[in-house]
């Protein structure tokens, strides 16, 4: 998932990723992407952790499994945000291939959407099972 020495392989305007100086419009694009994607995932994870804490602190011990489910779901969203950030860092840079030519491929965040959808469906199925088990 994480590549060693990735900044040496990615270039923008013939500069390596770790030494590039972005223009004002590129900075606006990077910051907007960070606010939109990274912020949304982190806020979602924090809200799930907060709700898990409320369930664990307020309700009786029979609801602990539901609180733990929300904590695990929040951790899953947080790991998905790390993966999305790693993918988003490559969005503005071109990879230099072995033939010396730039390869620029735009990838959508479809992989992250599929992972989050599967995670959400699994969490809601577990929530329904745990709720029915309470009765």
pLDDT tens for 78-118 read 998 888 877 766 665 556 666 666 565 556 677 788 889 99
Q: Is 61 exposed, middle or buried (0-12, 13-18, 19+ CB in 10 A)?
A: exposed
Q: How far apart are CA 18 and CA 90, in angstroms?
A: 12
pLDDT digits (tens, 9 = 90+) for 30-56: 677 777 777 888 899 999 999 999 999
Return the pLDDT at 45: 92
- How much is the pTM? 0.69
> Distance between the two ends of the chain, CA-based, in angstroms?
42
Q: Where are the alpha helices (DSSP H) in 10-38?
A: 24-33
68-71, long-range: CB < 8 A, 24+ apart: 69/123, 69/126, 69/127, 69/130, 70/123
Query: So what's the pLDDT on residue 8?
Result: 52
Q: Is 10 exposed, middle or buried, given 0-12, 13-18 or 19+ CB atoms closer than 10 A?
A: buried
Res 117: pLDDT: 93
């Amino acid at each position: 998932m994480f590549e060693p020495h990735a900044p040496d392989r990615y270039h923008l305007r013939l500069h390596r990723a770790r030494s590039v100086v972005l223009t004002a419009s590129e900075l606006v694009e990077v910051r907007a992407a960070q606010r939109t994607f990274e912020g949304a995932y982190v806020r979602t994870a924090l809200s799930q952790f907060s709700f898990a804490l409320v369930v664990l602190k307020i309700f009786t011990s029979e609801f602990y499994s539901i609180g733990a489910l929300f904590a695990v779901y929040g951790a899953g969203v947080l790991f998905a945000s790390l993966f999305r950030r790693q993918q988003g860092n490559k969005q503005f840079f071109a990879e230099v291939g072995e033939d010396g030519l730039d390869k620029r491929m735009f990838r959508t965040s479809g992989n992250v959407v599929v992972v989050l959808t599967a995670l959400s469906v699994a969490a809601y199925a577990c929530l329904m099972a745990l709720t029915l088990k309470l009765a």
